[in-house]
């Protein structure tokens, strides 16, 4: 089945710094989403981005489907950005809507 790999696994930043999180996937996808999981476990939707580029405030994302990767950019990081960031894909061969998640990137932003 499709493999989803996220890097780096852990990231520590000073407040105000910028960062780039990467998601590589091994096959074609119908759907790609980025989530932020807060300390209480809630998965917050950041981007639905099977292809192209989107921006939302300090966050932006780019998916290059032909090269099978997606990037999440966080600019001017704040302590509230801390948490785990997941990339999840729906395989192109799937008709179930099943999302395959990466292992996540744990971000800690220090004041």
Q: Candidates 33, 63, 70, 77: give the one binding another protein (CB under 8 A).
A: 33
Of the residues 31, 60, 75, 82, which one makes contact with another protein according to CB under 8 A: 31
In angstroms, give the least distance from the CB of 28 to another protein: 13
- Strands of the chain (E only): list them: 4-7, 10-14, 19-25, 29-37, 43-48, 52-56, 59-64, 69-74, 83-91, 100-101, 105-110
Q: How many CB atoms lie within 10 A of CB 12?
A: 13
Least Cβ distance, residue 107 to another protein (angstroms):
15
- The residue within the footprint of another protein, chosen from 3, 15, 48, 108 (CB under 8 A), is 48
Q: Of 44, 42, 76, which Cα lies nearest the Cα of 59?
A: 76
| Binding of residue 61 to another protein (CB under 8 A) | no
Residue numbers of the site for another protein (CB under 8 A)?
30-31, 33, 35, 40-43, 45, 48, 50, 86, 88, 90, 94-104
């Amino acid at each position: 089945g499709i493999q989803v790999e996220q890097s780096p696994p852990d990231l520590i930043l000073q407040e105000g710094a910028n960062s780039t999180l990467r998601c590589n996937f091994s096959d074609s996808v119908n759907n790609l989403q980025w989530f932020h999981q807060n300390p209480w476990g809630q998965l917050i939707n950041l981007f639905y981005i099977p292809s192209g580029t989107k921006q939302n405030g300090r966050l932006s994302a780019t998916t290059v489907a032909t090269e099978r990767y997606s990037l999440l950019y966080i600019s001017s990081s704040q302590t509230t950005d801390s948490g785990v960031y997941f990339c999840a894909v729906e395989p192109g061969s799937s008709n179930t809507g099943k999302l395959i998640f990466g292992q996540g990137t744990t971000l800690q932003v220090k004041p």
